[in-house]
Amino acid sequence: MTKVRRRRKWNILAIASVVLAALLSIIGVTSLNVDQVPGRDSLRLSSASRALTTSADRLPRDGWSSQRGESLSGSEIQADIESLDDAKYHVKIGVYSNSTYDLDLSIPSFSSNGYVWMRWKQPLQDYLEANNTDLQEHISLLNALLSDADPVLHPVQDKPAVLSDGTYYQLYTYVGRFYIDSATFKRFPFLTISLPIAIEADDVAGGLGYTKLRFEPDIRNSGMGLYAGTGIIGWLNRGWSIAEYRHNYATNFGLGGLDRDYSLIVYDITFGTSSWSSFWRLMLPLLVVMVMVLLVFKIRPDEQDARAGIPVTVLLTLVFLQQVYRGELPDLPFLTFLDLVYVIAYVITLFAFVLLVWIGRRYADMERMPLGEARDNLSIRLELLDEVWPLSMVLFCSVAVVTAWVLIPPGS
């Protein structure tokens, strides 16, 4: 009895040490955590016509929206409408993507080529001629990345054409690599990603600021071509959108005055992963491995070496599986849904290993006990634990996984 009490005392001390170490680790990691400083630039969805779903009751079930920034509200809407009408220069911009390809989530970025066209009236043409410039010299592809193909607009005609209504028209081609700013990485592997092309007025001096130059999306003629919606193998196309935003730079570029605002067009194509493909490819292997942990207690108690070895093997397998899918993603400052599922799997595997060691010690004690009621009661309790473990862990896993999914904010 004295030996049993001494062992129980050491077990309590060991548990207390583990809890204390865990608390100290949490405190230490929390103290080292870095808080993100938000950028001061902002995007606001303008009042111009758009091909973009903004109503919450019309969004898909996962809450995904291609909208960047916040919508205007209240008196801001009317003020923006008046600003649109009062702007001296207007340019109608359309985008038609021929193909999208070479998606790289680790950066994240994609490649694309297609057409951009612009229509403008005489006042803007007079401004361009007075400054001896072309319109493309005042336009930039804001999210373009350095690549083998210079991501700029190339005019198809040498000079803009004059249409029958007196407006000027210029068609451009583009090809390049572009940065991805919006994706539901928190829901990985059930991922939705937006492939944008951002077109903005490039005029630091302020002559073509938001109050003077406004872009208007050509929602009727914009779209995507044959290979734009199918060019990324393994992804499902969810449609395209185009809208104008007010881009506020939190600087006046050293020229004095207020912060600068510019008109910005964002055209994007949205892709999503197949839920069934993601499940079979990433979730099913994890599920099979965890079933092994649940069934380890069905192995005969006298095979203690085999019982204790399975959780160790499963733990190594979990580490390998997680490293494989993590290689597809950028370094994220948060845990994805699949990361949370693996955390649950790690906890269950560790708990199973500790429980197996404890049960093994109890069976060893039982073998040294004389035949009688005490030995029979211990045997019944250990057998009951072997029966209850799989059911209790299935219930715990189900609740934990569902909770992790429900707590993900809509659209993120």
Dihedral class, residue 378 (left if φ above 0, else alpha if ψ from -120 to 50, else beta):
alpha
The pLDDT score that the predictor gives to residue 58 is 74
The pLDDT score that the predictor gives to residue 296 is 80
Separation of alpha carbons 245 and 32, rounded Å: 37
* Positions of the chain with pLDDT under 70: 1-11, 14, 56, 147-151, 204-206, 256-259, 301-302, 304, 363-369, 372, 375-376, 378, 411-412
Task: Say which DSSP state 117 is in.
Answer: E
The partner residues of 247 in beta bridges, in order of sequence, read 43, 262
The pLDDT score that the predictor gives to residue 267 is 96
Q: Go through the domains of the chain in sequence order and give each one's CATH number.
A: 42-272 (2.70.170.10), 277-406 (1.20.58.390)
Separation of alpha carbons 197 and 114, rounded Å: 11
The pLDDT score that the predictor gives to residue 378 is 67
Sign of CA dihedral 164, 170, 171, 177: negative
The pLDDT score that the predictor gives to residue 320 is 92
Dihedral (C-alpha) 138, 143, 145, 148: value to the nearest 10 degrees? -60
Contacts of 302 (CB under 8 A, 6+ apart): 363
Task: Say which DSSP state 187 is in.
Answer: G
